[in-house]
Structure 1
Amino acid sequence: MLTHVVLMKFVDPRDAPKAKELLEGMGGRVEQIRDLTVWLDVVGSPVSYDLCMITRHESLDELRGYQGHPAHLEVAGWLRPRLEARAVVDHVP
């Protein structure tokens, strides 16, 4: 199992709830996602990111399939212009 962790910092943090909604909507549409969780930051410190998403995939090939899936590309198209920063860690637990 491969775990994909993404942290997002938005230019306008008020975009984070809409991003959460869009990301969670991929759960039933992208077959390569085995598990999906999305959280919003509640502290808002200077070093905080606004959103954390974790997806789990059976393999690296599934992660790549998810990344190229039309539903993911649609959400990413909405996200990218609104992001100030993004960090990703992919790991095997």
Structure 2
Amino acid sequence: MAVRHFVTWKLAAEDAATRAADAEGIRTNLESLVGVVPGLRSLEVRANTLYPENNWDIILISELDDAEALAAYQVHPAHLEVVEFVKPRVGDRASIDFEV
């Protein structure tokens, strides 16, 4: 059964220009995982465009083959490299996973 994996972040930067640059860097790095991580069917990253004072800044929407593929994605070396890029730019993170 396929798994949808969503992650949303509040970025740490105070100013809008830095947040926009960080969001773009996160998008570029995460989207580079498609075709690299086995079992990763699709991955999309979007920055929030409305109500920045109330909403989270960026979201990852991905689909993987199954729960085992999600577990393998989490520890894949390419994903771990991206995590090292993302972590210092993030103030808070939330995620949800569900089978479809």
TM-score under structure 1 normalisation?
A: 0.92
Gap regions ≥5 residues in structure 2: 14-18
Q: Name which of 29, 32, 38 aligns with 1:31.
A: 38
Letter in 2 for 1:89: I
CA change 1:83–1:72 in 2 (3 A) is same
| Partner SS, residue 29 of structure 1 | coil
Match of 1:84 in 2: 91
Residue 57 (structure 1) aligned with residue 64 (structure 2): yes
Q: Percent identity?
A: 31
Match of 1:7 in 2: 8
Structure 1 runs of 4+ off > 3 angstroms? none
Q: Name the stretch that deviates more: 30-39 or 71-80.
A: 30-39
Encode CA deviations 1:29-85: one digit per residue, 9 max, x unaligned. Answer: 112201111111112422211111111112111000001000100000111121101
Asked if structure 2 preserves the Cα contact closer than 8 Å seen for 1:16 and 1:51, the reply is: yes
Aligned residues: 93
TM-score under structure 2 normalisation?
A: 0.86
| Partner SS, residue 67 of structure 1 | helix
| Partner SS, residue 9 of structure 1 | strand
Q: Name the stretch that deviates more: 41-50 or 68-77.
A: 41-50
Larger radius of gyration: 2
* RMSD (Å) for aligned C-alpha atoms: 1.1
Gap regions ≥5 residues in structure 1: none
